[in-house]
Amino acid sequence: MNINPISRSPYLTTLFRMIIGLIFIYASLEKIAYPAYFAVSVQNYQLIPDYFTNIIAVFLPWLELYCGILVLIGFWHQAGATIVSLLNIVFIMALTSAVFRGLDIDCGCYGAGSSVNISRIIEDLFLLAFSLHITLFPRSKFVLENLLKRLSD
């Protein structure tokens, strides 16, 4: 398979790392600060039993934060991007389900005021593409792992 050299560019991967890292850190902060509000957003999708809502509402934002930090700083960024890819697949499925069922709900993506709609699905498809790129082409610039490796040599 012949892959375009631009696709393998460490600078493109670095750009995607910055985008994914900052978005996931930003998206997690209000959810961490207001877990009860996020729990309502999770429950509004009507996809999980009530007894899982609080667990997801507390756990998911912290997972987003940690993965965002790992991707941003370049420490285990490939693992962080893989988890972000999986999260994005789940988010896309949940958003698509809500759109097809005609639910008029807050998506819970960035806190209050983000409604479920097709543009959110498109946004998550782009984020999925970026995170998959990081997973498949992990070579990047400004990676903490590289610095730690040089210091240990």
Cα separation of 63 and 25, whole Å? 10
Q: How confident is the model at residue 93 (pLDDT cuts 50, 70, 90)?
A: very high
> What backbone phi and psi angles, to 5 degrees, belong to 115?
-85, 160
Mean pLDDT over all residues of the chain? 92
- At residue 140, the pLDDT reads 85
Angle at 129 between CA 145 and CA 40, to 5 degrees: 95
- At residue 30, the pLDDT reads 94
Average pLDDT rounded to a whole number, residues 3-10: 73
- At residue 1, the pLDDT reads 53
Higher pLDDT, 7 or 61: 61
DSSP letter, residue 111? S
- At residue 5, the pLDDT reads 66
Cα separation of 140 and 72, whole Å? 11
Asked if residue 2 has pLDDT above 80, the reply is no
Give whole-number Cα distances, 81 to 9, 64, 136, in Å. 17, 10, 9
Angle at 92 between CA 87 and CA 96, to 5 degrees: 150
Higher pLDDT, 6 or 33: 33
